[in-house]
């Protein structure tokens, strides 16, 4: 389904659309559930026949034969119950897997702006716990509702053939039960949504606390973190309390009904026996049928909790799936091929939010193919923002960014980002082996190509000194490696990717001076024949660039080679002299 479908279709239609690929399993589950209900309905009716005819007429052989048949039927019922339990849960898991796949695929289409505003813990909650509730509803919901309806309707129909007046009493009580459950369902759904929203916040807080545990220990702030956790935990208890109050009201009214129903049958049935309008066998049969459908009635009641939790999760799933990606390929977008690397930034202004202050103001820049440009300036001036517009991590607010004359908004994002390699200051490594992390630059690369990339990034010797070499596990976010090692692995990825346009965002900031000089030599080799933009704070590392741009307060204030800018004795010269003085 498209994002538009999630925006316009009802939650029920969205939910049922995930049943379609697995309809055979679903049908098998319902068929087995139907047969279980038939067996349950047959026993009281046959028991009545035994008590009215077989036993009084001493037809003992027939009696024991029927009991033997029912023993076999109950064995069959056990097998059917196994099918319902195993394959029913399998069906639910497949539905959950499909929903999670679609959710993850959709989340991948969302822009950097989405991740700037949403915490990882929130998204994790939506992809795990909330989807489990949808799974439970997918499996148990239709099955429990179907079994309950078949059993209750079948039992009432049979009871009408036995004694219609007493059956009518049962019929009057059931709608009362349905009305009570319907009234309680709304409050349970509202409370369940509150629980899920609170759980998402708690998960986000826990994820943040675990990620920052080293920082907490370094500052001896475990107590502060424990206090934050306790506050979140108290919010969880409050939200659960409201849900359990709603569930308690529901359960209490349901249990009262379950007790009143057999009491009403025995009381009214007793009156009919006193009048001679009913016999004991029929009353016993009625009692058996009441016992038969009390369990389905409980399932119908439990269905309300399933429905409340499942649809609360479903609504939050649809809410996320309904978000339109900020950045989308145009219908007529073309692949960017044979990239030379000429970059044009024309009258570009940019703000992260439409109503916020602009980060860039009417910036103009032309980079020739194969040229190396250094971008320097104070923190917060807009250096990284300018470079992030080239691979279209964000869309310009005004103006346009072009590569080889193609507006980046007119080409597919996939082909654009294949052509632009980015080494960021904040290095992210996956919790996997070094081999897998380097190969992320080009998943189909051979082992020899990975090794060659590691050599060029000056990380090969470090890797071979590790116990498992390229199979060494790097830990969560690369926690088992040094900052310099992490950065060089990220650089090896780019060597492997070998893009025509290269953006180095403080790519050597975590390296010591000896390793940095080696990497600078490797970058010099990598930059040959490709367009390179280097964002740097250490001005000594960018002297060899063809041009240096000074970006301050969202505009390019100076532009030229190192010697030219030093001769101007402007902002660049001041920065350079200050760094050399402190150095």
| DSSP characters over 435-466 | HHHHHTTSTT--HHHHHHHHHHTT-HHHHHTS
Query: DSSP label at 401?
Result: E
Per-residue model confidence as pLDDT tens digits over 11-45: 888 888 888 898 888 899 889 988 988 888 888 88
Token pair for residue 228? Answer: 């934050």
Please compute the mean of the pLDDT values over residues 290-307 and round it to a whole number: 75
Per-residue model confidence as pLDDT tens digits over 133-159: 787 788 777 878 888 888 888 888 888
Residue 453 clears pLDDT 70, i.e. is over it: yes
Stronger pLDDT, 309 or 406, i.e. the higher one: 406
| Residue 569 pLDDT grade (very low, low, confident, very high; cuts 50, 70, 90) | confident
Residue 126, number of CB atoms within 10 A of its CB = 23
Token pair for residue 221? Answer: 């702030």
- Which range, 225-234, 308-317, 447-456, is most confident? 447-456
The three-class DSSP label of residue 423 is: strand
Query: Does residue 423 contact residue 381 with C-beta atoms inside 8 Å?
Result: no
In the chain, % of residues over pLDDT 70: 88
Residue 72 clears pLDDT 90, i.e. is over it: yes
Residue 515 clears pLDDT 80, i.e. is over it: no
Cα separation of 281 and 218, whole Å?
Answer: 78
Residues near 275 by beta carbon (within 8 Å), at least 6 away in sequence: none
pLDDT given at position 76: 93
Per-residue model confidence as pLDDT tens digits over 355-393: 778 888 998 989 898 888 888 888 778 888 888 888 888
Per-residue model confidence as pLDDT tens digits over 199-223: 767 776 776 666 666 566 665 677 7
Domains of the chain, earliest start first: 3-321 (1.20.1560.10), 343-582 (3.40.50.300)
Residue 497 clears pLDDT 80, i.e. is over it: yes
In the chain, % of residues over pLDDT 90: 4
Per-residue model confidence as pLDDT tens digits over 81-139: 898 888 888 888 888 888 888 888 888 888 777 777 776 666 776 677 667 778 778 87
Residue 583 clears pLDDT 60, i.e. is over it: no
Question: What is the pTM for the complete model shown?
Answer: 0.69
Lowest mean pLDDT among 17-21, 53-57, 436-440: 53-57
pLDDT given at position 580: 66
pLDDT given at position 73: 92
Query: Does residue 305 contact residue 280 with C-beta atoms inside 8 Å?
Result: no
Please compute the mean of the pLDDT values over residues 455-475 and round it to a whole number: 86
pLDDT given at position 512: 66
Residue 405 Cα distances to 233, 283, 409, 510, angstroms? 55, 89, 12, 35
The three-class DSSP label of residue 327 is: coil
Expressed in percent and rounded to 5, the helix, strand and coil fractions of the chain are 65, 10, 25
Residue 297 clears pLDDT 50, i.e. is over it: yes
Per-residue model confidence as pLDDT tens digits over 246-269: 778 777 877 788 788 888 888 888
pLDDT given at position 65: 92
């Amino acid at each position: 389904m498209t994002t538009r479908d999630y925006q316009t279709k009802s939650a029920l239609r969205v939910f049922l659309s995930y049943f379609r690929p697995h309809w055979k399993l679903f049908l098998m589950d319902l068929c087995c559930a139907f047969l279980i209900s038939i067996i349950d309905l047959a026993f009281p009716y046959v028991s009545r026949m035994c008590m009215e005819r077989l036993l009084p007429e001493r037809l003992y052989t027939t009696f024991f034969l029927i009991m033997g048949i029912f023993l076999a039927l109950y064995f069959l019922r056990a097998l059917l119950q196994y099918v319902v339990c195993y394959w029913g849960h399998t069906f639910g898991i497949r539905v959950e897997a499909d929903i999670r796949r679609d959710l993850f695929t959709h989340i991948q289409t969302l822009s950097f702006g989405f991740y700037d505003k949403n915490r990882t813990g929130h998204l994790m909650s939506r992809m795990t716990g909330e989807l489990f509730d949808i799974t439970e509803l997918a499996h148990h919901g239709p099955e429990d509702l179907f079994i309950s309806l078949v059993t209750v309707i079948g039992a009432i129909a049979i009871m009408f053939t036995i004694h219609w007046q007493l059956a009518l009493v049962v019929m009057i009580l059931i709608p009362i039960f349905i009305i009570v459950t319907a009234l309680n369902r709304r409050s349970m759904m509202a409370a369940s949504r509150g629980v899920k929203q609170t759980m998402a916040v708690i998960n986000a807080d826990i994820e943040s606390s675990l990620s920052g545990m080293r920082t907490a220990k370094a500052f001896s702030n475990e107590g502060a973190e424990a206090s934050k956790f306790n506050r979140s935990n108290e919010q969880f208890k409050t939200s659960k309390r409201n849900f359990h109050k709603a569930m308690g009201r529901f359960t209490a009214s349901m249990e009262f009904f379950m007790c009143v129903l057999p009491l009403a049958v025995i009381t009214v049935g007793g009156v009919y026996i006193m009048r001679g309008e009913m016999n004991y066998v029929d009353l016993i049969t009625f009692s058996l049928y009441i016992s038969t459908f009390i369990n389905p009635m409980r399932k119908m009641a439990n269905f309300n909790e399933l429905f409340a939790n499942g649809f609360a999760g479903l609504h939050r799933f649809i809410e996320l799936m309904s978000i339109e990606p900020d950045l989308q390929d145009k219908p007529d977008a073309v692949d960017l091929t044979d990239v030379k690397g000429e970059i044009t930034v024309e009258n570009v202004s940019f703000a992260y939010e439409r109503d916020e202050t602009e980060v860039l103001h009417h910036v103009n820049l032309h980079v020739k193919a194969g040229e190396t440009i250094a971008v320097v300036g104070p923190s917060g001036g807009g250096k990284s923002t300018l470079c992030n517009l080239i691979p279209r991590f964000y869309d310009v607010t005004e103006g346009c960014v072009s590569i080889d004359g193609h507006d980046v908004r007119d080409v597919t994002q996939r082909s654009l980002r294949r052509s632009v390699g980015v080494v960021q200051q904040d290095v992210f490594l996956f919790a996997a082996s070094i081999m897998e992390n380097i190969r992320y630059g080009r998943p189909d690369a051979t082992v020899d190509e990975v090794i060659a990339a590691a050599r060029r990034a000056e990380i090969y010797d470090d890797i071979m000194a590790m116990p498992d070499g390229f199979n060494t596990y790097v830990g969560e976010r690369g926690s088992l490696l040094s900052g310099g090692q992490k950065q060089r692995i990220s650089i090896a990825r780019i060597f492997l990717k070998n893009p025509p346009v290269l953006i180095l965002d403080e790519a050597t900031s975590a390296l010591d001076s000896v390793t940095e000089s080696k990497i600078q030599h490797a970058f010099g080799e990598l930059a040959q024949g490709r367009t390179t933009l280097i964002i740097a704070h250490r001005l000594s590392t960018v002297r060899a660039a063809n041009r240096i741009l000074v970006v301050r307060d969202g505009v390019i204030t100076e532009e030229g080679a190192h010697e030219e800018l030093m001769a101007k004795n402007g902002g660049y010269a001041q920065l350079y002299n200050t760094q050399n003085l402190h150095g």
